[in-house]
Chains A and B, each alone.
Chain A
């Protein structure tokens, strides 16, 4: 071959007259490709990366570029240089400022609204009231109970009544003052227990589905397993009545929105949303325009944590005002308004009962959870289930009884918050296990290790659990914290405690459609001559790094540096529908969709390379911007060469990938709640100092192990773990939405809503456990919410270890703990709390039994995760049932019940008493 011929690329088209194009480079900043990083290539592909948890279906896609490497988030430069535009940073020409008129009453009928003075005020451009938008909306299609503004009643202080758009803020505020409203005050409900009773004017009317005449929004009854015998079989029981105060997400950025109707008659809504798609739908309903006329533009989100995942009335208000005025309208919340809109964690009364038998098995869990929904449904339907079903793992249990109820009260609405529905009852379970272990005189970690479900098993309610790294999490924190030297051995005031967590990695059920019909997530890719990959995704980056995960997934499969990936995730006009950032679904679902899309492009590139090099496709591998023969790396082409070849006949490459969950779960009512394609696990040990004289608790150190399947970006996973610790510490130590004696929320500001400061933050050692989930993208599961769960019980249990006092109310503010210390002193007839005895542990014989069982289970679990043919394992096997068959199919006494019996209703628990009422339709009303 002559030199000239060599430069003429095979397959690279030449102009007539033989003017040769220069050979395209590798693409990217550095013109030289780096050698493949064999340390990142899995053993199954001949690389050096060890795979103690077995291989994975994505192993052959690993190019060793970015996955598994700590990477700063792709949008971080925008944030740190102040260039990121959040909700309130959007400035459009001729914008108006919108302000909201809010209710000063807890509960009232709106009799009349007089706009005459306000509309005369110069500078006021438009005013809207409930009359302008009568259609209801709500995040869940089954419980739409919100209006843009009050239609007949206001249901909590801060509820919306009207809104004003004016030339400037001062004018808008003055107009708000000039609007005169007449009210008829109604009797308001503040104590959630009152919500269970019949009321004269229930806060909402569910028509024929209304439960009694009460304020019960949702009730759940579930019984699984050997309910009848659990108490008989128990040798130790734990019972505790908890009260969890409500907490708010308190994201740094208050809600803000800009609505703009453009000259072509389309609405663009700029909003820091976690779930743009639901707002999209709700806007169409409320504004009565087709969805295609609306473009939801997600701005940068200054923190969401669930607080920006509902479609919100203020988003409707801005849109209505913009439509009326013909000008863009911006509404930005004051911090106080963030608390009015709330959607924070539900204030909850939880009764937790645990029973253990003489072999140290959990023969029963009985939970009763009454949760305070505030004035609207929000995600509450789901929360009511989650408070029960999300503690049916990681432990194998003999029976599970759950009664849950959510009531409306005249408070700002509760909703979804990081760890949705699982946090409070998880805390109660884990504290219960600490107590049960103490009664049994065994180490609580040993107790847990001897009661874990194995990988690839089904929980008592029928959740399909795939990978489980719970055992490793426990073993790691035990070792690194020096548990054995410290637990029940430290002096008064110094304690250590353990807590575990279990959380969904994506909700199995898309809220708006049948999962068999449409996918949960779709990702589009486009690559043109420049080699950069444009990724269109609707997943909402809310600071958690979802853009980065998608970029990493695509970059990994195509062997590209991250800066060659461009994420377009902001606008519903260009992005495929995505269900949004909630239920820790994004990494699992969206990265899977992105991988599928990238696989299509990968196959195009491999075909093109094969055509150029004549090498068979099976022999080719992708490295850094280069595709080559694995056995003879010198033979290959650059990424751009392959790309251009692939583009020859069709121009830009496009591909689409989607993710849907596999069919799973059982058939009983409510079986879908809590169902997820994978679950995360975590175990934390906290070490605390408690001042016995003041009741002040200081968390000194935390060892935090989380099983995220595979850390696609270890830096981000560690960030989530540390951030979760901080957030959970807030709930356990100092954060609460505090209602005063008049029912007013007393602390609607960040001085009195007490988020831990940097001084309160302990030293956190994040420990990543990678259980390699078979269906997760490259093995990954969630890491955004699950890591919050264990910190609460770990701290509660550490406080007990320190001073021998248990709490039953969160947050454990010093005054609350001090009361409990005083009580304990009185019980023990001790004058000075410094003389309190520290809890000590002397092992019973059961300890050996548990250790032995844990060892056996450890071997069982390792086998199960490595074999390719896995036998079914149903919860119940530990109690002697056949693991391969759902126990209810072989044992009649194994309950699967979702309706309470007459007998139960004679003496129901607190939330269970919601079932005493009969629905209107069943009463013939």
Chain B
């Protein structure tokens, strides 16, 4: 299998990276950022929307900061999982990603900005030719979506990254930079319901780091992941729950899901409802059922949508189990 050739840039500072981006943009040349490359390179090998230029963030030491409240985009997943600064729930989700080898290359930035996945898309070029391509990488054919046909506008590929739901529950903020300057937003607002656009990054914009409110260290919670094998497999569903109790009383609860739609889901209202009407086990059951109903997976991953929805219910129940014991 041959990767299409590209020109690789390796800036050593964020400024330099932005300069390179600027000059490429001015020449109307497109490019991708690359961090660990564990997602981008397989996609390039399969000729999934490869670009002529690639800018590597690997040499930018500014992006590797890791404290209790700041996580640089270039922090490797394994480092995140092992760090004493990492909240145990975040560490658990980081530790569940791919395999140890991939975690040593893969990064936090790459994980958050992970491309969406689909059975009809994450395939070799030859394979995709046999289905006459699909909307997300149509090779100029104007091909339809193979999952939900007869609508040429939306791609429903699935967002299957593990960190986002936990970070959403932590109310993390993402910090971005581009030729038009810096900006930041809540991670909850970062994603866009379109398997192709995926998130709010502007062309040439990159994620420098994320920040987490300090008080989160006192929160408890859990992350539950559904997959076939304990290694390698992407989440077929994932549920993060984080809560805060005061004197044994539940004060706050946040729930987020992944692996079920084109974006991770943040279920603020449902969580709030539970806090307000907390009645122990029954409430968790009720919440789990509500979450099952709230998510709408489509048939483009290993398990069937019906099963994934049923399992969200089980995962939610398990993620919230700690609410009962503490």
**Which residues of A does B touch, CB under 8 Å?**
102, 104-105, 157, 169-170, 173, 334, 336, 693-694, 734, 740, 742, 744, 746, 748-749, 751-752, 754, 756-760, 813-815, 818-819
Interface residue B131 (Cβ < 8 Å from any Cβ of A): yes
Residue of A169, A752, A815 contacting most chain B CB atoms (<10 Å): A815
Whether A756 lies near B123 (C-beta < 8 A) is no
Interface residue B119 (Cβ < 8 Å from any Cβ of A): yes
Do A754 and B229 form a contact, CB below 8 Å, given A169-B2, A336-B127, A744-B131? yes
Whether A744 lies near B130 (C-beta < 8 A) is yes
Whether A813 lies near B228 (C-beta < 8 A) is yes
Interface residue B304 (Cβ < 8 Å from any Cβ of A): yes
How big is the B interface, by class? 20 to 34
A694 partner, pick from B129, B130, B226, B232, beta carbons under 8 A:
B226
Q: A157-B130, A694-B226, A754-B302 are in contact. List 9 more A-B contacts (CB 8 A).
A: A336-B127, A748-B123, A751-B232, A752-B302, A757-B230, A759-B229, A759-B230, A814-B228, A815-B304
Interface SS of chain B: helix, strand, loop or mixed? loop
Whether B229 lies near A746 (C-beta < 8 A) is no
Complex interface: chain B residues within 8 A of A756 (CB): 229
Q: Could you list 21 A-B pairs, sorted by A, with CB under 8 Å? A: A104-B129, A104-B130, A105-B130, A157-B130, A170-B2, A334-B1, A334-B124, A694-B314, A742-B131, A744-B127, A744-B130, A748-B124, A749-B124, A754-B228, A754-B229, A754-B233, A757-B99, A757-B232, A760-B230, A815-B304, A819-B307
A102, B126: Cα distance in complex, Å: 9
A740, B118: Cα distance in complex, Å: 13
Complex interface: chain A residues within 8 A of B119 (CB): 740, 746, 752
> In the assembled complex, how far is the CB of residue B104 from the closest CB belonging to chain A, in whole angstroms?
17
Complex interface: chain A residues within 8 A of B230 (CB): 757, 759-760
Do A173 and B229 form a contact, CB below 8 Å, given A104-B129, A693-B314, A694-B311? no
Interface residue B231 (Cβ < 8 Å from any Cβ of A): yes
Complex interface: chain A residues within 8 A of B231 (CB): 757-759
Interface string of B204-246 (1 = CB under 8 A from A): 0000000000000000000000101111110000000000000
Closest residue to A335 on the B side, CB-wise? B1
Closest residue to A173 on the B side, CB-wise? B2
A734, B304: Cα distance in complex, Å: 14
| 8 closest A-B pairs by CB | A759-B230, A815-B307, A757-B231, A104-B130, A693-B314, A334-B1, A815-B303, A157-B130
> In the assembled complex, how far is the CB of residue B181 from the closest CB belonging to chain A, in whole angstroms?
39
Closest residue to B45 on the A side, CB-wise? A334
Whether B307 lies near A818 (C-beta < 8 A) is yes
Complex interface: chain B residues within 8 A of A759 (CB): 229-231
A760, B232: Cα distance in complex, Å: 12
Whether B310 lies near A818 (C-beta < 8 A) is yes
Closest residue to B98 on the A side, CB-wise? A751
Interface string of B243-258 (1 = CB under 8 A from A): 0000000000000000
A173, B125: Cα distance in complex, Å: 12
A317, B1: Cα distance in complex, Å: 19
Complex interface: chain A residues within 8 A of B314 (CB): 693-694
A813, B228: Cα distance in complex, Å: 8
Whether A734 lies near B131 (C-beta < 8 A) is no
Closest residue to A698 on the B side, CB-wise? B230
A336 partner, pick from B124, B233, B304, B310, beta carbons under 8 A:
B124
Complex interface: chain B residues within 8 A of A693 (CB): 314
Complex interface: chain B residues within 8 A of A751 (CB): 232-233
A760, B229: Cα distance in complex, Å: 7
B229 partner, pick from A334, A694, A757, beta carbons under 8 A:
A757
A740, B119: Cα distance in complex, Å: 9
A819, B306: Cα distance in complex, Å: 10
Complex interface: chain A residues within 8 A of B229 (CB): 734, 754, 756-757, 759-760
> In the assembled complex, how far is the CB of residue A647 from the closest CB belonging to chain B, in whole angstroms?
55
A744, B127: Cα distance in complex, Å: 9
Complex interface: chain B residues within 8 A of A334 (CB): 1, 124
Interface string of B147-181 (1 = CB under 8 A from A): 00000000000000000000000000000000000
A171, B151: Cα distance in complex, Å: 37
Complex interface: chain A residues within 8 A of B233 (CB): 751, 754
A17, B232: Cα distance in complex, Å: 77
> In the assembled complex, how far is the CB of residue B123 from the closest CB belonging to chain A, in whole angstroms?
7
Closest residue to B315 on the A side, CB-wise? A694
Closest residue to B130 on the A side, CB-wise? A104
A54, B7: Cα distance in complex, Å: 72
> In the assembled complex, how far is the CB of residue B234 from the closest CB belonging to chain A, in whole angstroms?
8
> In the assembled complex, how far is the CB of residue B110 from the closest CB belonging to chain A, in whole angstroms?
17
A862, B233: Cα distance in complex, Å: 51
Complex interface: chain B residues within 8 A of A169 (CB): 2
Complex interface: chain A residues within 8 A of B2 (CB): 169-170, 173
> In the assembled complex, how far is the CB of residue B190 from the closest CB belonging to chain A, in whole angstroms?
26
> In the assembled complex, how far is the CB of residue A76 from the closest CB belonging to chain B, in whole angstroms?
24
A786, B303: Cα distance in complex, Å: 32
> In the assembled complex, how far is the CB of residue A406 from the closest CB belonging to chain B, in whole angstroms?
25
Complex interface: chain A residues within 8 A of B303 (CB): 813-815
Closest residue to A741 on the B side, CB-wise? B299
Complex interface: chain A residues within 8 A of B130 (CB): 104-105, 157, 744
> In the assembled complex, how far is the CB of residue A819 from the closest CB belonging to chain B, in whole angstroms?
8
Complex interface: chain A residues within 8 A of B226 (CB): 694
> In the assembled complex, how far is the CB of residue A479 from the closest CB belonging to chain B, in whole angstroms?
31
A118, B233: Cα distance in complex, Å: 40
Residue of B99, B123, B126 contacting most chain A CB atoms (<10 Å): B126
A752, B228: Cα distance in complex, Å: 10
> In the assembled complex, how far is the CB of residue B7 from the closest CB belonging to chain A, in whole angstroms?
16
A548, B99: Cα distance in complex, Å: 35
Complex interface: chain B residues within 8 A of A814 (CB): 228, 303, 307
> In the assembled complex, how far is the CB of residue A412 from the closest CB belonging to chain B, in whole angstroms?
12
Closest residue to A738 on the B side, CB-wise? B302
A814, B1: Cα distance in complex, Å: 33
A564, B206: Cα distance in complex, Å: 64
A759, B311: Cα distance in complex, Å: 22
Closest residue to A742 on the B side, CB-wise? B131
Complex interface: chain B residues within 8 A of A104 (CB): 126, 129-130
Do A734 and B232 form a contact, CB below 8 Å, given A336-B124, A746-B119, A815-B307? no
Complex interface: chain B residues within 8 A of A173 (CB): 2
> In the assembled complex, how far is the CB of residue A845 from the closest CB belonging to chain B, in whole angstroms?
43
A104, B126: Cα distance in complex, Å: 8
> In the assembled complex, how far is the CB of residue A163 from the closest CB belonging to chain B, in whole angstroms?
14
Whether A734 lies near B228 (C-beta < 8 A) is yes
A760, B233: Cα distance in complex, Å: 12
Interface string of B101-138 (1 = CB under 8 A from A): 00000000000000000010001101101110000000
Whether B228 lies near A336 (C-beta < 8 A) is no
> In the assembled complex, how far is the CB of residue B101 from the closest CB belonging to chain A, in whole angstroms?
12
Complex interface: chain A residues within 8 A of B311 (CB): 694
Closest residue to B313 on the A side, CB-wise? A693
Complex interface: chain B residues within 8 A of A157 (CB): 130
> In the assembled complex, how far is the CB of residue A492 from the closest CB belonging to chain B, in whole angstroms?
16
A104, B125: Cα distance in complex, Å: 11
A104, B124: Cα distance in complex, Å: 12
> In the assembled complex, how far is the CB of residue B39 from the closest CB belonging to chain A, in whole angstroms?
12
Closest residue to B311 on the A side, CB-wise? A694
Complex interface: chain B residues within 8 A of A102 (CB): 126
Complex interface: chain B residues within 8 A of A744 (CB): 127, 130-131
Closest residue to A759 on the B side, CB-wise? B230
Complex interface: chain A residues within 8 A of B124 (CB): 334, 336, 748-749
> In the assembled complex, how far is the CB of residue A737 from the closest CB belonging to chain B, in whole angstroms?
14
Complex interface: chain B residues within 8 A of A757 (CB): 99, 229-232
A294, B126: Cα distance in complex, Å: 33
A173, B129: Cα distance in complex, Å: 15
A756, B1: Cα distance in complex, Å: 25
A748, B122: Cα distance in complex, Å: 11
Complex interface: chain A residues within 8 A of B126 (CB): 102, 104, 336
Complex interface: chain A residues within 8 A of B307 (CB): 814-815, 818-819
Whether B127 lies near A748 (C-beta < 8 A) is yes
Complex interface: chain B residues within 8 A of A734 (CB): 228-229
Interface string of B1-18 (1 = CB under 8 A from A): 110000000000000000
